[in-house]
Amino acid sequence: MAVDVARLTRLAGSLVAGVLPALPPDLERLTVRGDCDGASGYCALAGRVLGHRFDQAVRVGRGPVLPSAIYPLLVRGVLGQEVELGLFDPLTLSRRVITYRLLGRRTVAIGGRRIEAMRVQQDLAGLRQELWLDARGRLLREEWPLHVYLQQEGESD
């Protein structure tokens, strides 16, 4: 994952000071590898900065902690019509509250095919977007205000 160093340095408790050795002031991005375990509620991060190796476990909470992990649950209706979740944001190494609202089913055209999809509204810190998920919870389309969107172009297995 790529980490925004400016955001990383603003983390409460000065995580950077304890984990990453003296970052140069002009460093803008940093690559970190890690694994998250929903059962234990921790993400294990590892990397190398200025020749120094670091390992750090970050508590992110139990359950599905990455947004993509909850998409299948949303599609099946397991979480209800509206749900507010504290999910782990790997870019800021922090938890964020995201609200999801199921808006109903709709057919979308993807790669020349018409696919039945669940339309979901996602709110994160005032930024609202709409997601279209297939029956397996895979993201087909993401749309932001002013009709800016990302859309899958073909079949993805």
What does the block give as tokens for 83? 């749900």
User: CA 71 to CA 76: how far, in whole Å?
Assistant: 9
pLDDT value of position 18: 43
Residue range 14-43, pLDDT digits in tens: 444 444 445 565 665 556 666 766 667 677
- What is the domain partition of the chain in residue ranges? 2-59, 67-151
Cβ atoms of residues 122 and 131 within 8 Å: yes
Q: What average pLDDT does the chain have? A: 73
The single-letter code of the amino acid at 18 is G
Residue range 59-94, pLDDT digits in tens: 666 654 567 777 888 888 766 788 887 777 766 777
